[in-house]
Structure 1
Amino acid sequence: MIHKKIISLLFLLLGITLLYIGIEEIYLLSTYLNKLIPIKPDTETRLMIILGAAASISGFVGIIRDRAIEV
């Protein structure tokens, strides 16, 4: 049971990290480009944000699910 919590916590931390890196990359891109040019993040940035959101959600659900089962 403790292994599931550790894995869920790792997914949550990984997801938050990927989201942070993806958002920072978009922010850096927007500061270097002119405001008239539309910002189009590359595939790696989009992938980091999508995978970060998915990992965060799965980690959060895993932690909540374990608590609901124990109660």
Structure 2
Amino acid sequence: MVGILSFLGFTMLVGIISYFATRTTDEKSSDGYFLGGRSLTAGVIAGSLLLTNLSTEQIVGLNGSAY
């Protein structure tokens, strides 16, 4: 039960933060929609690229190939 409540609480927290962070972006143009209104910092872009490439499948595959 604690796991479900913590998951729901964290999901709601992320949703609220995302709403407030993106409510001023212009999503009517292609720049606003695809590039976040050109308001993303280098840290956000680098983190997104890094975390996209560090999936579970890749980590398990690398461990298997090293063995």
TM-score by length of 1: 0.38
Would you tell me which structure has more helix in proportion to its own residues? 1
The higher relative CO (CA closer than 8 Å, separation ≥ 6) is in 1
TM-score by length of 2: 0.40
> Which of the pair has more CA radius of gyration?
2
